[in-house]
Amino acid sequence: MKLHVLDCGAMSCDLTWLLFKPGRTIRPRSERDKPVEWYSCATHAVLVETDEGTLLWDTGCPRDGETRWVPTGLQEFFPYDQVSEERYLDAQLGVGDRQRSERLVRLRGEDPFDRGAVRGQCDLRPRRGAAALHAYGSHGLLPVNGFQPVREK
Inter-residue contact 13 to 38 (CB < 8 Å): yes
At residue 9, the pLDDT reads 93
Which of 17, 5, 18 minimizes the C-alpha distance to 87?
5
Please give the full DSSP string across 31-77, using - where no structure is assigned. Answer: GTTSPPPEEEEEEEEEEEEETTEEEEE-----TTHHHHTTTTTGGGT
88-103 pLDDT, tens per residue?
888 887 765 444 444 5
Cα 90 from Cα 68, distance rounded (Å): 17
Inter-residue contact 105 to 54 (CB < 8 Å): yes
pLDDT above 70 covers a percentage of the chain that reads: 60
2-41 pLDDT, tens per residue?
898 989 999 998 888 877 777 677 888 998 898 888 899 9
pLDDT, mean over the chain: 68
- Say whether pLDDT at 127 is over 50: no
